Amino acid sequence: MTNALTVIALLLTAVTATTAALTREPVRQAVVLAFLGLCLALLFTVLQAPDVALSQLGVGSAITPLLILLTVRRVRRQEQADEHPDRTE
């Protein structure tokens, strides 16, 4: 049973990681990265590494997406500012 669980978690991780690398648009990629965080946490738990899974949950599902989205938000705001120099957001 554990083997089956490991294989499932590994497959989920591989598929999500591949998609994350292939997703071109940063916001969509951020969602996929959050997914990747979940899959990795699942994999780590199956591999009996709860401490690591806890870290991954914190970093993968909260911190990294927040960082990426804040970056994108700043970048977008700049784009708007460049297009309409007299108006923001």
83 part of the interface to other proteins, by CB under 8 A: no
What residues numbered 57-76 form the site for other proteins, per CB under 8 A? 57-59, 61-76
State the nearest-atom distance from the C-beta of 24 to other proteins, in Å: 6
State the nearest-atom distance from the C-beta of 83 to other proteins, in Å: 11
What residues numbered 13-52 form the site for other proteins, per CB under 8 A? 13-36, 38-52
Please identify which residue in the block is written with the tokens 């554990």.
2
The two tokens of residue 37 are: 């965080």
Euclidean distance between CA atoms 72 and 66, whole angstroms:
10
Euclidean distance between CA atoms 17 and 9, whole angstroms:
12
